[in-house]
Amino acid sequence: MDWGGPTFVIAIIALSTGGWLINNWIRAKHGYELEDEWGGKTAPKNSGEIKELRAENAELIQLLKDQGKRMETLERIVTDKGYRLNEEIEALRDLPDMKSTDSGVPLDIENKEKA
């Protein structure tokens, strides 16, 4: 291998650039400051806003989990046999009283006795 040839120099430059890109990608992924071409540090933009959004997202996720637990409880209550039986009893209580209304077919007892 020719250590002073152009392919070796290009390979060194490509490896250095690739390492720098991978380093910055990992740092950006984990929220660390990024390095520019001259070794200076650049803080990620809007890091405070990102933290606020993450906190709000966590609150919303917890609220959604709480609502899911409430829905499970309500579904269990509604599908409970005792609850359905109670609803049927209450529905029967709401029916008009059978004695107070004229219902059914009238019997013609008087007409049959005369005949």
pLDDT in tens, 84-104: 777 778 888 877 665 555 555
pLDDT, the chain, mean: 79
Name 23's Cβ contacts closer than 8 Å, sequence gap at least 6.
35
**5: pLDDT confidence band, cut at 50, 70 and 90?**
confident
Which residues make Cβ contacts (< 8 Å) with residue 42, sequence separation at least 6? 33, 34, 35, 36
Residue 50 and residue 40 share a domain: no
Q: What DSSP character marks residue 115?
A: -
The range of the structural domain enclosing residue 73 comes to 46-95
Number of domains in the chain: 2
Same domain, 65 and 29: no
Q: Are residues 18 and 51 in the same domain?
A: no
Same-domain pairing of 50 and 77: yes
* Confidence at residue 111, expressed as pLDDT on a 0 to 100 scale: 62
Please tell me whether residues 56 and 90 are part of one structural domain: yes
Query: Quick one: average pLDDT of 62-81?
Result: 88
Confidence band for 59, pLDDT divided at 50, 70 and 90 = very high
> Is 111 contained in some domain?
no
Residue 115 has pLDDT above 60, yes or no: no
Same domain membership, residue 55 and residue 40 = no
